[in-house]
Amino acid sequence: MARVKMFLSGLMLAAAMAGPQHAMAEPVQVRTDYKVSLVGFPVASAKFVTQVDGSSYRITGDLRSSAFSDLFSRVRGNADVTGRVAGDRLEASKFRVAYTSGKKKHRTEITFRNGDVHLTINEPEPKPRGSDWVPLLKGDLRKVLDPLSGLVFPAGSAVCPRSLPIFDGEARATLHLTPKSVRPFRTKGFKGDAIVCSVRFEPNSGYRKNSSGIRYLRNLKGAEVWFAKDEALGLYAPVYAKVPTKIGKVIVAATRFGV
């Protein structure tokens, strides 16, 4: 389930990237809020602030499990991403995420240079790998996206179809987005149409071949991400996601989107 959590967190955190195109001259600050539910029960919430100055961006955010989820395992996390707008994508220079789950703590930092991974730090360090481990190759860390800003697209670029090469600090995977439909969406700060994309998860390296979580994500069907465009800020970002799991459907929905 760790990869499922990473996938969902990426969808939530990416939508915090409500920043303008690089043509805008003055710094802009935007807030985006989310709620996460599992079979109708609230399991998490997230709040983010994005600051954009010219072609540079920074996102800071917090994620926490709900009182309902805390009965099983209390989760608290925060993220910080900096980078620049580069053509049809947001290109990170530094990515950091830290979280606690019960008594366990984890921190990941990735430094990028022109889209390539320069340095990765994981605390605690990963355990020794078994014979079923698919190792990262040097080429796997070139021209990749972080799991947060990788799902945000400047206006004028394609939303889907698109394939996104994602590196989360350990695993390298590709998210394949395919056009599905256009649906109305409404929340605080936004009312309009959203582009609905189906999502297919393809593991590339940095994972166990026999992992049940990876196997589940590889065979996952019915996952969707909805992207809405902020006209004033000039970007597409996720506002809704639906991900089937073994115990029920997870819904990630923006409760606030826009300035």
pLDDT band at residue 94 using 50, 70 and 90 as cut-offs: very high
Of the chain, the percentage scoring pLDDT greater than 70 comes to 86
Confidence of residue 24 (pLDDT cuts 50, 70, 90): very low
Torsion of CA 174, 178, 180, 184, to 10 degrees: 60
In whole angstroms, give the CA distance from residue 175 to residue 156: 20
Tokens of 163: 């394939």
Residue 202 · residue 226 · CB < 8 Å = no
Q: Are residues 74 and 51 in contact, defined by beta-carbon separation less than 8 angstroms?
A: no
Q: Are 110 and 123 in contact (CB under 8 A)?
A: no
Structure confidence by residue, pLDDT tens digits, 166-177: 999 999 999 999
Residue 72 has pLDDT above 50, yes or no: yes
Q: Strand runs (DSSP E) across the chain, as ranges?
A: 28-38, 41-53, 56-65, 75-86, 89-101, 104-113, 116-123, 133-134, 153-154, 162-167, 172-187, 190-205, 207-208, 224-230, 235-245, 248-256
Give this prediction's pTM: 0.85
pLDDT of res. 105: 93
Report whether pLDDT(224) > 80. Answer: yes
Residue 1, C-beta contacts closer than 8 angstroms, at least 6 positions apart: 213
Decide if pLDDT at 231 tops 90.
Answer: no
Phi, psi of 238 (to 5 degrees): -65, 135
Average pLDDT, integer, range 138-147: 94
Helix (H) or strand (E) holding 8: helix 2-14
17: confidence class by pLDDT, cuts 50, 70, 90: very low
Which pLDDT band holds residue 82 (cuts at 50, 70, 90)?
Answer: very high
Supply the pLDDT for residue 120. 96
Burial (CB < 10 A; 0-12, 13-18, 19+), residue 31, is: middle
Q: What is the mean pLDDT of residues 224-248?
A: 86
For 189-199, write each residue's pLDDT tens digit.
Answer: 999 999 999 99
Instruction: Give the per-residue pLDDT at 19.
Output: 37
pLDDT surpassing 90 at residue 22? no
pLDDT at 34 over 60: yes
Cβ-Cβ contacts under 8 Å for 39 (sequence gap 6 or more): 247, 248, 249
pLDDT of 3 above 70: no
Share of the chain above pLDDT 90, in %: 56
Domain boundaries, the chain: 2-256
- The reported pLDDT for the residue numbered 172 is 97
**CATH class as words, domain 2-256:** mainly beta
